[in-house]
Chain A
């Protein structure tokens, strides 16, 4: 399959621009393979992150034709013979060079919220016979989160508000509050019940669309809003 990859280029001290390279890859290839072809055949100064090549590490997050993707599991057949793939670095994170961004945005937020419990084994697709652990209302998908940052890239609020916790963080908070296991729940509520916590979310659901692993942070945020709202109303009307 023949394709063109149009790659965002930036080296410190120079102006950003796009370089377009023709590549040929097998029909079964993924976008990351096409990118590596461009690197190998045309320009070895192209900088991009990649590690596991199978949607496990979350390193390779990119924009392909203005949509957040994990290129290691995005088939080239999604785009068709002769297509031009515009490859950009993830949004809302500082660009170090070319397609490599400073992803500390991701790690700082996870550190702030506290790592939610991750089980050793959890069913990905719960069947009707699976019993929910005590305290969980529904099977969240947070265990699937790769910390790839694509949701933070897709979110329109992250584009203008550096203080916003962001979809991934709020989904992590929701997971933690659903099953705290001794975590400081009040601390987490204080972080999320804040103008730059959950209340900056405007329900665009681009985070859910971007997530390569069906974590559905959008839905998690709605559940979190409900939790916080009910807690506030209860307290306001004299409950606890």
Chain B
């Protein structure tokens, strides 16, 4: 007689594969971000004018947004992984996934808004 919890409905998952993929993307993108934001301008950190100049470059704008998407996705997948280790019931787990997905969308939207605002302020 197999306990009820073991026979719960099972579903194929891409979460770990996405975790690994976003992680590998971050090895490159985070590395780039750290170098570009800490070691390119004299003195290391960019002042306001230097930030405006940087983010107004369309390629760099897109690169930073791509980085934000990868890091947010990886971070929230990770938070979800830790929560799932608690073995909660399927309905609760779906709510957790939905909530974290919304947080992810909000964070990326905030990043795009903020970057666009800086570009506009500097123009």
Contact = CB atoms under 8 A, between A and B. Distances in A.
A200 B86 CA distance: 10
Interface residues of B, number: 20
Interface stretch (B1-9, B66-74, B106-114): B1-9
Interface string B7-26: 11011111111000000000
B2 A112 contact: yes
Among B5, B85, B93, max chain A CB count under 10 A is at B85
A104 B3 CA distance: 9
A195 B11 contact: yes
A217 B115 CA distance: 48
A240 interface: no
A211 B48 CA distance: 58
A240 to B, nearest CB: 15
Given A199-B15, A232-B12, A112 B84 contact: no
A229 interface: yes
Nearest to B1: A108
Interface stretch (A119-127, A156-164, A176-184): A156-164
A189 to B, nearest CB: 8
Contacts of B93: 195
Interface residues of A, number: 25
Interface string B71-101: 0000000000000111100000100000000
Given A111-B2, A164-B87, A196 B10 contact: yes
Contacts, number: 58
A162 B10 contact: no
A190 interface: yes
A108 B6 CA distance: 8
A69 B97 CA distance: 38
A165 to B, nearest CB: 8
A190 B13 CA distance: 10
Contacts of A194: 10-13
B98 to A, nearest CB: 15
B84 A193 contact: no
A151 B7 CA distance: 21
Contacts of B85: 157, 160-161, 200
Contact of A162 (B1, B7, B13, B87): B87
Among B1, B10, B17, B84, max chain A CB count under 10 A is at B10
A109 interface: yes
Contacts of A199: 13, 15-16
25 contacts: A108-B1, A108-B2, A108-B3, A109-B6, A111-B2, A160-B85, A161-B85, A162-B5, A163-B87, A164-B87, A165-B6, A191-B10, A193-B10, A194-B10, A194-B11, A195-B13, A195-B15, A195-B84, A195-B93, A196-B84, A197-B10, A199-B13, A199-B16, A225-B16, A232-B12
